[in-house]
Structure 1
């Protein structure tokens, strides 16, 4: 397996506990879990190549020189496309790992996905390897509980073992989380997300896949305090010279407003039940939707001024989120897509495979709505059969006009 494949797979798995606006993270997460090993390799390799190509032009113009005296495997910039990320991100990550462990020099990667700077390595403490990685980006300031990047995952969608959010005396935020496996041998993911008061955010993640070359283990090679050390290190400060200032704060959509808009947008006869648990994450709601005797789980997110202040064109970022799907424009000028994503089960066989439906709409004025729909199966698995809503109903739901003023 190439380092690009390893890294792309690690990025997708880290998305499972990266609670930024559901969008591409939900899609990437579902795609990871939904493919068997061969398909994962092919898709990850293609994604990595595309991401590297997209990164090249932007990073080549940045005012960083090639470091002198860098010769360790994996640290030397590529002769074909030398960029700061090629050496700085993986080298810094490697320097923050415990020296008693082993880093596979053939599995060190760095990728820039729309200027979300990232790197990953394979680290082994002597009892089995894991993918350890980081991403660097900026978030809005002042830091707020309403920022999805500083929230715990939605537990209906992503079962978690633990999640803790801490505000430090200097105003910085630290979120630590561990994904609960859905079955024996399922992928396990641990994350530590640190945001400084000035908006610099580092997310450190660690995964084991349950595959033979990356076997399942209940405790990762790098303990959570090791991930925290990576995420909170000042060594990452230089990389933020590559990133623009943080996003402009936009008043989030309240849970009540999301619920009201959702009920208005559902097809006639459909009933939404948010359940009895307290939901107070701005811009997001989950629950069940029932229609014609069928019931499915659903997670809905709404974000106004989506991706404002992020590098690149928000339309391009939406297209990236909808990669592998056909993006259609409605008569009202709303871009939409729907993905039906196979979801792996125990043994990654067709008999245990379920289906996730993920839809998104981009409205004029930077409002983006996402809907994830699935039917529960045994335990934490997802079923294969039809959902409570059909394809046309899901697309009509996510692109309903009332979302733009939710």
Structure 2
């Protein structure tokens, strides 16, 4: 997954993560139900900030926080629409340019907006919003967003920037094409620029099930110095709840790449204060841990069921999936293995859960899967040992999280899911 345009000014919580999480939930599903079954089925969140806050570990499932675009970015609800008053095209001669080296100077929301408008092709602008560099909130990324019209229809366009560790986990994730099991797309191409920056351009969709044909095209660029720039565009004036105003987003793949590579954004990244806690990258063992979880899951799948697909690049330390088929259709099976989860026990295990003689808590849920796709079901078994070691597994009656059912029920029974979740092999 499922991108980070990472804020919501309307949230009252002063913690920037809370605002990011709210934006993530809004993007991942405006119709997301925060019921216990959805909370129990934890999906993976690859965004750096969501990894830093353990609360994200209990959110996910079929309609939860998803990989969005490339690199786990969170998307903002633009609001507004085509009827908003238009702004005149930005004039290059009067628009201040964000300095290519902005360290030590303020970068305001107006700077971000004007720079985005200046770098876009000639057109009109409306509903501009942005955030500059806030020295008090290093985890809240600067961004700008506008409704842009080149004469062929209004389109939301945004840019967000942040800093990643050069060559680190987040840098690699930012420019990796997402797994099509979770994020469908038409094309995804990664290329290298002359300065050794890596940029990935993906042409995908706002809604994974394509219940509305809103297109979302993104470019994610990471420089050798750790500048991370995300540019996103839609073929509507807002990412959600706005009519499609043009066949495709306005910028071509080449234009997206050029906009992401503009030197102005690197100056903004340079102006972001260093987080005193540092960049919390996963340890070097993350990739091996991810592979170990995948191997254990495969070893626990009943022999009557064939594994026909696996996660692309087993490098998440707590999450993986397989696709299985018992001869009656494909079925997605996903699992999270998480230590130190005792503090969220009351959120995960309520009425209807049970406690085993060894103190392990178990909850079982049968619920609808991805909203908007008729007939998809998600069966989940969530377990929590006394020391906080959690294993939660979910199975779907579809081969991906965004496709129509391939069968009536998942390929694994609740009894089989329970046996996998409670296996002592996870301790190794």
Report the counterpart of residue 273 of structure 2 in structure 1.
Answer: 242
- C-alpha separation in 2, matches of 1:291 and 1:152: 29
Aligned CA distance change for structure 1 residues 149 and 291 (closer, same or farther; 3 Å): same
| TM-score where L is the length of structure 2 | 0.55
- Aligned residue among 342, 347, 351 for 1:326: 347
Report the count of equivalent residues: 332
- Give unpaired runs (5+ residues) of structure 2: 1-7, 12-21, 30-44, 67-75, 80-94, 96-105
Instruction: State the 1:175 CA deviation.
Output: 0.9
Contact 2:291 2:315 in 1 (8 A): no
- Aligned residue among 303, 315, 321 for 1:282: 315
1:72-151 mapped onto 2 (5 Å cutoff): 86-98=109-121, 100-105=122-127, 107-110=128-131, 115-142=140-167, 147-151=172-176
Contact 1:297 1:376 in 2 (8 A): yes
Report the counterpart of residue 215 of structure 2 in structure 1.
Answer: 188
Instruction: State the 1:141 CA deviation.
Output: 2.5
1:225 aligns with 2:254: yes
Contact 1:30 1:341 in 2 (8 A): no
Q: Structure 1, residues 127-150: CA drift from partner, whole Å, max 9, x if none?
A: 222222223233332257993222
3-state DSSP of counterpart to 2:296: helix
- C-alpha separation in 2, matches of 1:362 and 1:135: 37
Compare 257-266 and 332-341 and name the one that shifted more. Answer: 332-341
- C-alpha separation in 2, matches of 1:359 and 1:85: 47
Aligned CA distance change for structure 1 residues 8 and 380 (closer, same or farther; 3 Å): closer
- C-alpha separation in 1, matches of 2:427 and 2:160: 31
Aligned CA distance change for structure 1 residues 357 and 84 (closer, same or farther; 3 Å): farther
Q: Structure 1, residues 129-172: CA drift from partner, whole Å, max 9, x if none?
A: 22222232333322579932221110222222111122334332
- C-alpha separation in 2, matches of 1:188 and 1:10: 19
- Give unpaired runs (5+ residues) of structure 1: 34-43, 49-71, 73-82, 305-313, 346-350
Instruction: State the 1:191 CA deviation.
Output: 0.9
Q: Structure 1, residues 57-99: CA drift from partner, whole Å, max 9, x if none?
A: xxxxxxxxxxxxxxx9xxxxxxxxxx9664444443333222x
Q: Structure 1, residues 324-358: CA drift from partner, whole Å, max 9, x if none?
A: x934599889999999676344xxxxx84745679
Task: Give the number of the structure whose residues are more often helix, by fraction.
Answer: 1
- C-alpha separation in 2, matches of 1:28 and 1:84: 37
Aligned CA distance change for structure 1 residues 178 and 97 (closer, same or farther; 3 Å): same
Q: Is the radius of gyration larger for structure 1 or structure 2? A: 2
3-state DSSP of counterpart to 1:202: strand
- C-alpha separation in 1, matches of 2:403 and 2:220: 27
Aligned CA distance change for structure 1 residues 13 and 286 (closer, same or farther; 3 Å): same
3-state DSSP of counterpart to 1:161: strand
Q: Structure 1, residues 261-302: CA drift from partner, whole Å, max 9, x if none?
A: 213455x66746143x89445337553235797752245578
Contact 2:146 2:157 in 1 (8 A): yes
- Aligned residue among 12, 16, 32 for 2:27: 12
Contact 1:279 1:285 in 2 (8 A): no
1:257 aligns with 2:292: yes
Report the counterpart of residue 159 of structure 1 in structure 2.
Answer: 184
